[in-house]
Amino acid sequence: MHILLEKTLKNASNYFQNFLIQEYQNPCIFHRIDARIKFISVIIFVILAVSTFELRKLFFLLFSILGISKIFGLSIKKLLLRIWIFTAFSFIIVLPLIFSNSLYPFIFTLRVFISLLAVQMLIMSTNFFELCIAMRSLKVPEIFVQALWLSYRYIIVLFQDIINVLLARESRRVARSSHYEIWKKGGESIGLFFLRNIEKSERLQLAMLSRGEKIVSGDSDFGTLEISYIAIVAFITLWWIML
Amino acid sequence: MHIPDGYLDLSIAALFFILSIAVIGYSIFKLKNEKLTSLFGILSAAIFAAQMLNWPIPGGTSAHYVGGSLAGILLGPYAGSLAMAIVLTIQTLVFNDGGITAWGANVWNMAVVNVFIGYYTYRALQKIDRVLASFIAGWIGITVAAIFAGMQIGLSTSFAYGLSITVPVMGIWHAILGVIEGVITAGVIGYIATRRMDFLEKKETGKKSSALVFIMIVLSPVFAYLAEEVGYSEPMENAAKILELEEMRIFEGIFPDYTFPGFDPYIGALISGSIGVLVVLAISLAIRYAYSSRKNP
């Protein structure tokens, strides 16, 4: 059990570490659009998706989002790969209702699928720092933005530390201990890991403060790309309303 | 326990957005003169890491370690609820875990209900035994939060399962799995108590504000039920319909019932709403200008 847990933790940490670092390696036109516009447009798409059960509106929205992704250079294959698990999970939950309403599970899953697709467009094309700056520009309270950025930084540090600790444990394990001993030592090492991280983060915080910690942002004006994208989103929204 | 987009009705999602923003806004207000400590960042990161292991629950959503009680005990309810809200925001915006429209409901369950209930349970029981108090706080916090999640999705007509299925499924499963939450919370608090007692020093909270948050927590299912009952129509209109009263208009208004003459009702609502916002904005700016010019003649 504990070996399975350790392996899961190691693989998950590796996955997240890679996910956070390699997220934005293939920039396309969609990456260049201002994060504020992308953020607001995603909220609009999600609201449109969850506020209807009409199939024609849902399909219109689905093809519009897929069309935008294709035109602006996002990989549809990657988008679908990232959301199929959540979509399948939602479908399984509502599947028993197929006997009372044969269409409901499909429409419900389609709503979830479109919402996930819209959010994934933002995630695949915007790094977290840009999102923080966009939120600040959209007047989200300063302390909230600071806390977001602070936590995000520590998440990266923490995952790196988890991988190091697990590797160190693996390399030092020579004898097979009893389950009780492993759990006891495991608990102690979690506590120790937590405290060691707090102390390390205190040193990091002091180092950042001494260098003048600040999120530097500059609000840029919207260019042709942003205005075109706003026009497309407005056109889709109005068409959806009139359908 | 993260509710995705599409599971909640917009009326319920909007209600919990308002309630969550009110509590998180108040927490931010209470923390305005404080510098965010590294404990805040590392605890958020640790909770984020602990939440990444999910397992599905049939008929409901999913289960995982939440950490709301731990955040409340170590940071106090205000910083704790902010830390949890931060974790949930990162999960929504970076990993698509939890929906954008369901953000308010998720924050309400995991950052408000779980944190406040966990914190006050711990405070009430810590004199008996610190480790036992943390265990009960961890267990009760996640269980009550899950019951709230069950209520929100059960009251939403978009999700075809009713309250009779969603609440027991979420509540019972989390009450069982909450034992693990309780054990982890007790383990971490017990260990910290032996090494860094300064992290567990009493966090001051105002009695009035705490009572207000508790009243909001207790009343929120009632609001959710009412939000679902009235849907998008005004409660007053529904009451008038039941009483068979007829409206006698003295003045039709410029945009009657948010419509715009000659346009489709949806577009009319959009145009009249936009004009309304612009008018309010103009008046607010004018008042602000008048006020500031009086202060600085």
pLDDT tens-digit map of B42-56: 788 888 877 766 655
- Give which of B79, B2, B203 is closest to A146, Cα–Cα: B79
The full set of domain ranges for chain A reads 1-22+128-212, 25-126+220-243
pLDDT of B89 higher than 80: yes
Residue B288, pLDDT > 80, answer no
Q: Taking 90 as the threshold, does the pLDDT of residue B114 lie above it?
A: yes
Q: Are B113 and B144 in contact (CB under 8 A)?
A: yes
* Secondary element (H or E) of residue A135: helix A128-137
Top-confidence range, A41-45, B192-196, B207-211, B241-245: A41-45
Question: What would the pLDDT profile of A9-29 be if each residue is shown by its tens digit?
Answer: 667 666 666 666 555 556 788
What 3-state DSSP class applies to A80?
helix
d(CA B290, CA A34): 35
Q: Which residue has the tokens 């075809």?
A: B160
Nearest CA in chain A to B231: A51
Tokens standing for B250?
């003295």
Q: Cβ B158–A53 below 8 Å, yes or no?
A: yes
Q: Please check the confidence at residue B151 and state whether its pLDDT lies above 80.
A: yes
* 3-state SS assignment for residue A153: helix
CB contact under 8 A, B59 and A238: no
Decide if pLDDT at B161 tops 70.
yes
Contact B49 A162 (CB under 8 A): yes
The pLDDT value recorded for residue B105 is: 94
pLDDT of residue A143: 84
Tokens encoding A157: 């540090």
Instruction: Using an 8 Å CB-CB cutoff, list chain B residues near A157.
Output: 45
CA distance B161 to A99: 13
A124 interfacial to chain B (CB closer than 8 Å): no
Lowest mean pLDDT among A60-64, A121-125, B1-5, B47-51: B47-51
Cβ atoms of residues A112 and B7 within 8 Å: yes
Q: Please state, in angstroms and rounded to a whole number, the distance separating the CA atoms of residues B181 and B185.
A: 6
**CB of B167 closer than 8 Å to CB of B154:** yes
d(CA B11, CA B8): 8
Residue of B226 and B79 predicted with greater confidence = B79
Confidence of residue B118 (pLDDT cuts 50, 70, 90): very high
State the pLDDT at residue A45: 93
Question: Chain A 203-232, CB below 8 Å of chain B: which residues?
Answer: 204-205
So what's the pLDDT on residue A199?
79
Sign, Cα dihedral of B70, B74, B80, B86: negative
pLDDT tier, B1 (very low <50, low <70, confident <90, very high otherwise): confident
Distance from CA of B283 to the nearest CA of A (A): 20
For residues A179-204, average pLDDT = 73
Q: Which residue has better confidence, A173 or A94? A: A94
Nearest to A54 by CA among A111, A112, A93: A111
Is residue B199's pLDDT more than 80? no
Structure-model confidence comparison of residues B229 and A32, the more confident one: A32
Cα-based torsion angle of the residue sequence B89, B94, B96, B97 in order, rounded to the nearest 10 degrees: -50
The residue among A217 and A116 whose pLDDT is bigger is: A116
What value does the mean pLDDT of chain A take? 81
Task: Dump the DSSP string for A197-237.
Answer: HHHHHHHHHHHHHHT-------PPPP-HHHHHHHHHHHHHH
Strand partners, B55: B63
Partner-chain contact B158 A190, CB within 8 Å: no
CB contact (8 A) between residue B41 and residue A122: no
Cβ(A39)–Cβ(A138) below 8 Å: yes
Q: Tokens representing B24?
A: 């998180």
pLDDT score for A145: 87
* Inter-chain residue contact B160 with A154, CB threshold 8 Å: no
> Helix or strand or coil: residue B55?
strand
Q: What are phi and psi of B126, to 5 degrees?
A: -65, -25
- Strand positions, DSSP E, chain B: 55-56, 62-63
A-chain CB neighbours of B56 within 8 Å are 89, 92-93
Task: Give the C-alpha separation, A16 to A4, whole Å.
Answer: 18
d(CA B188, CA B65): 13
- pLDDT of residue A241 exceeding 70, the answer is yes
C-alpha A202/C-alpha A196 separation (Å) is: 10
Of residues B194 and B140, more confidence is placed in: B140
Q: Which of B40, B96, B266 sits opposite A120 (nearest CB)?
A: B96
User: What's the whole-number mean pLDDT along residues A203-219?
Assistant: 70
Angle formed by the axes of helices A76-94 and A104-125, nearest 10°: 150
pLDDT mean over B116-132: 90
Q: Do A147 and B58 touch (CB under 8 A)?
A: no
Residue B235 in this model has a pLDDT that exceeds 50:
no
- Whether B239 has a pLDDT exceeding 80, the answer reads no
Checking if the pLDDT of B77 tops 70, the result is yes
Name the residue with higher pLDDT: A6 or A35: A35
Cα angle at B73 between A191 and A186, to 5 degrees? 15
What is the ipTM for the molecules in this complex?
A: 0.73
pLDDT of residue A196: 78
- What pTM value is reported for the model? 0.74
* Structure letter (DSSP) for residue B156: -
Q: How far apart are CA A15 and CA A103, in angstroms?
A: 36
Beta pairing partners, B62: B56
Residue A117, C-beta contacts closer than 8 angstroms, at least 6 positions apart: A62, A65, A66, A69, A79, A83
- The answer to whether residue A179 scores a pLDDT higher than 50 is yes
- Average pLDDT rounded to a whole number, residues B227-231: 62
Phi, psi (deg, nearest 5) at residue B62: -150, 165
- For residue A182, the model assigns a pLDDT of 67
Model confidence pLDDT, tens digit, residues A107-135: 999 999 999 999 888 888 888 888 888 88
pLDDT digits (tens, 9 = 90+) for A219-236: 677 888 889 999 999 999
Q: Is pLDDT at A216 greater than 50 in this prediction? A: yes
> By CB neighbour count within 10 A (0-12 exposed, 13-18 middle, 19+ buried), where does A80 fall?
middle
Residue B4 has its nearest CB partner, among A86, A192, A195, at: A86
A57 CB within 8 Å of a chain B CB: no
Beta bridge partners of residue B20, listed in sequence order = none
d(CA A13, CA B49): 8
Q: Tokens at residue B199, please?
A: 């992290």
CA distances from B234 to A110, A232, B226, B228 (A): 30, 33, 11, 12
The average confidence (pLDDT) of chain B is 77
A188 CB within 8 Å of a chain B CB = yes
